[in-house]
Structure 1
Amino acid sequence: MSSLFKRIFSHNKKEKNKFDGPYVFHKNNSIEIYTIEAGKCTKNEYKNEPLQVRFSNHADWNFSVPLKKQLSNEPCLWNDSEKIFVLSDIEGEFAAFRRLLIANNVIDSNYQWIFGKGHLVVNGDLFDRGDEVTPLLWLIYKLEDEAKLHGGYVHTIIGNHDVMNLSGDLRFVDIKYFNHARLMNMDYMQLFDKDSELGRWLRTKNVMEKIGNRLFVHGGVSPLINNMQLNIEILNAKCRPFYDISENEGNETNVPEYLQSLYNRQSLYWYRGYFYEPRATMQDVDNTLTLYGCKQIIVGHTIVPDKNPALYYTGKILGIDVNQHQGIHAAILIENDNCFAMNDKGEKKLLVYQPANEITPTETAG
């Protein structure tokens, strides 16, 4: 394994953040804000001031977030950008996310956007496993508005773990969040429901976006999705109602069979066919590229074999899930039509297709 991207740290020695939140809820004509500090819950009314995200273990990491005046569903078709920074499957690892963005000049140490007109793509799976999901969500939320001021953009693609948290499949949620929900006299599912600011915000995100001639999707595009022959805008519109429906719930309801592939294991955020059997054929991949007018599909979800970003299917598929939760931190930079692997030191490595990459992974993914 390349040492370039290996950053394993001890979770046992990591001092835990005693703060959590803020959790923002829209109640009738008011906005309520809950924060947790050292096992105690505080509730206040919103006073039209920036929200405070704090870290007891890293005071210099604190930041403030203005609440958005309105939320609307994201566009999904974009012109190309001079540079695109992409990472996926952060899964609550705020420190890794922060380090990657700072090291690669997307933000500075004060969380200010310094990526100019570049685009940042978070290609799914913000939730689960890690214990700093809330600040991760707020930082992305904050950067969206700052990027726009500079002509850039932040894209958040919905992944399977994001849908799991919105729909009630909580197998991988850190116990901290159940405890904190109880302190607020709530169930965990209320933390990100449709009355919460972060829940409303997440439900505006897409499962697939196209930037220039590249397609960004968390899992991949299965042959079943190909066969539906839906354009990207319609596909996103049809998928959005299923964010709140777990796979089991969907199977127990009267969802038409042809729509079940929008949320089951053939869906855009669950599909693993680029890496696991039965693997997609080259024709399957070409069918997707033709359908959406693209030359490349960028996916997370399935941990790539050597835990470094790599090209597959003669370069038509780019896999970027390197297992961030286990301390291996990497992203990609797309610049001048080249793809580079980037680590958390800002080091850069040109990605070149290698036929030897076409090996079925032995490790499951998020």
Structure 2
Amino acid sequence: MNLLTVVLPLLINGLVFQADPKEEKKKNENDGPYVVYQKDQIVVRNIVSEDSIRRVKVSTFTLKEKSAVPLEVQFSDHPEWNFSVKMQRNLKNEPSEFKQPDKLLALSDIEGEFEAFRKLLLANKVMDEQYNWIFGKGHLVICGDLFDRGQEVSATIWLLYKLEQDAKAKGGYLHTILGNHDIMNLSGDLRYVKPKYFENAKLMGLDYKELYGPDTELGRWLRSKNLIEKIGENLCMHAGVAPVINTLGMGLQEINTKCRPFYDKAKNKELFTDPVIKKFFDGTRSSLFWYRGYFVEPKATEAEVEETLALYQVKTIIVGHTITESNVGFYYKGKVLGIDVDQHNGKHEGALFENKAWYKVNTTGNKLPLPKE
């Protein structure tokens, strides 16, 4: 977790010395873009730093101009990271099942750590320095948690939004699966949001919850994503499948379709009148994005894990959410793959499937074979 540094005058021998601001770690003073639909207009807000003064830039376009709306993600501290984004023509709900790709990179819990995410994608040849997709027909899977803790949440989401389009154009695919922090932000549970985002929203004349509301481009995009997907031999989600979910016998498409209307209602438990749907939002006991039963007592039994594999006809369950010393690593004799690592404290790793084998990868480009238990 990054900490803000307060610069205080230093008193030595009766003389006051001010720390050189150049020695302070720079931070990105820019934010956005935030795209809001208002009737027949598209309103784009950016916070830009000019001459050390942060200003709000507002641009308005008609719906007919959507394909030409200029969206720029800019970094005052790293202008070489800047990139542009083209708005998608239509946002459709994601399919729940996909064929097995020859190559798959699985990451999770990025939580606004843009620099680490960028390095992982570059080192593993998912994209180049200009943010072009170079992963061919490979699939990139993000197993949840885009929000909170890190300093570059919106930039991270826009990069996924961009690469999603590029991947499809090159025959590949980018899967963004939602985690507990994503659902929390959509539903108004803001306990882990960085203060800068409340301040930025206020500067733009908005409430924070309006930044990802149902009338925003990123809000609509996030609501089109799934809680669980089958990608060939792999069942991918943020946290895990609790035994009680197995007993429901629900198909993946049914789960995603029935849960999607409640993404932004998760904080309001009184809205869950269907006891079945409530189970998918019921914290660590049964939620696909909160469950910790593969790693924390009371743990799922091997028979219960096998039941999940048989129900969805897969060989491996891939999850983030819970950090362990063994991650990135296999559990349950190779049946569960945990990929959550502490991105905020410098551990930047993921799991790569290539040439029919699994590897642990990091920001160096090296690959370490992943043994199964």
- Tell whether the structures are fold-level matches, with TM greater than 0.5: yes
Find the partner of 1:24 among 20, 31, 35: 35
Q: Distance in 2 between matches of 1:10 and 1:106?
A: 30
For residue 254 of structure 1, report the CA deviation from its aligned partner. Answer: 5.1
For residue 11 of structure 1, report the CA deviation from its aligned partner. Answer: 7.3
Which residue is 1:43 aligned to?
58
For residue 49 of structure 1, report the CA deviation from its aligned partner. Answer: 3.4
Which residue is 1:317 aligned to?
336
Q: Distance in 2 between matches of 1:304 and 1:212?
A: 26
Q: Distance in 1 between matches of 2:334 and 2:357?
A: 11
Structure 1 or 2, whichever has the larger Rg, is: 2
Alignment pair present for 1:96 and 2:111: no
Q: Distance in 2 between matches of 1:253 and 1:153?
A: 34
Maintained 8 Å contact 1:9/1:327: no
Q: Distance in 1 between matches of 2:360 and 2:137?
A: 20
Find the partner of 1:230 among 233, 240, 250: 250
CA offsets 1:131-165 (integer angstroms, 9 cap, x no match): 10011011000001111111000000000000000
Give 1:169's aligned amino acid.
D
For residue 246 of structure 1, report the CA deviation from its aligned partner. Answer: 2.5
For residue 18 of structure 1, report the CA deviation from its aligned partner. Answer: 1.2
Q: SS of 2:101's equivalent?
A: coil
What is the aligned length? 344
Maintained 8 Å contact 2:2/2:344: no
Give 2:39's aligned amino acid.
N
For residue 75 of structure 1, report the CA deviation from its aligned partner. Answer: 0.8
Q: SS of 1:26's equivalent?
A: strand
Give 2:55's aligned amino acid.
K
Q: Distance in 1 between matches of 2:82 and 2:223?
A: 26
Q: Distance in 2 between matches of 1:50 and 1:294?
A: 42
Which residue is 2:16 aligned to?
none
Q: Distance in 1 between matches of 2:332 and 2:304?
A: 11
Find the partner of 1:344 among 344, 363, 366: 363
Maintained 8 Å contact 2:309/2:315: yes
Q: SS of 1:346's equivalent?
A: coil
Which residue is 1:33 aligned to?
44
Which residue is 1:261 aligned to?
279
Maintained 8 Å contact 2:272/2:278: no
Q: Distance in 2 between matches of 1:243 and 1:56?
A: 33
**Relative contact order higher in (CA < 8 Å, ≥ 6 apart):** 1
Q: Distance in 2 between matches of 1:270 and 1:207?
A: 11
Which residue is 2:20 aligned to?
none
The RMSD of aligned alpha carbons is 1.5
Which residue is 1:361 aligned to?
none
Alignment pair present for 1:157 and 2:177: yes
Structure 1: gaps (5+ residues): 1-7, 355-366
Q: Distance in 2 between matches of 1:55 and 1:203?
A: 27
Q: Distance in 2 between matches of 1:222 and 1:208?
A: 13
CA offsets 1:148-202 (integer angstroms, 9 cap, x no match): 1110000000000000000011011011110011111111000000010000000
1:42-191 matches, cutoff 5 A = 42-46=57-61, 48-191=68-211
Q: Which moved more, 1:258-267 or 1:195-204?
A: 258-267
1:238-257 matches, cutoff 5 A = 238-247=258-267, 249-250=268-269, 252-253=270-271, 255-257=273-275
Q: Distance in 2 between matches of 1:53 and 1:330?
A: 25
For residue 10 of structure 1, report the CA deviation from its aligned partner. Answer: 8.3
Maintained 8 Å contact 2:2/2:150: no
Name the CA shift for 1:346/1:254 in 2 (closer, same or farther; >3 Å): closer
Give 2:57's aligned amino acid.
T
Q: Distance in 1 between matches of 2:335 and 2:237?
A: 13
For residue 257 of structure 1, report the CA deviation from its aligned partner. Answer: 2.4
Which residue is 2:9 aligned to?
none
Which residue is 1:357 aligned to?
none
Give 1:187's aligned amino acid.
D
TM score, norm. by length of structure 2: 0.89
Give 1:264's aligned amino acid.
D
For residue 238 of structure 1, report the CA deviation from its aligned partner. Answer: 1.3
Maintained 8 Å contact 1:304/1:320: no
Q: Distance in 2 between matches of 1:281 and 1:318?
A: 15
For residue 353 of structure 1, report the CA deviation from its aligned partner. Answer: 2.1
Give 2:333's aligned amino acid.
T
Which residue is 2:352 aligned to?
333
Name the CA shift for 1:344/1:254 in 2 (closer, same or farther; >3 Å): closer
Q: Distance in 1 between matches of 2:264 and 2:125?
A: 35
Identity of aligned residues (%): 51
Alignment pair present for 1:288 and 2:308: yes
Give 1:71's aligned amino acid.
L
CA offsets 1:40-80 (integer angstroms, 9 cap, x no match): 21211135233111111111111000011110101111011
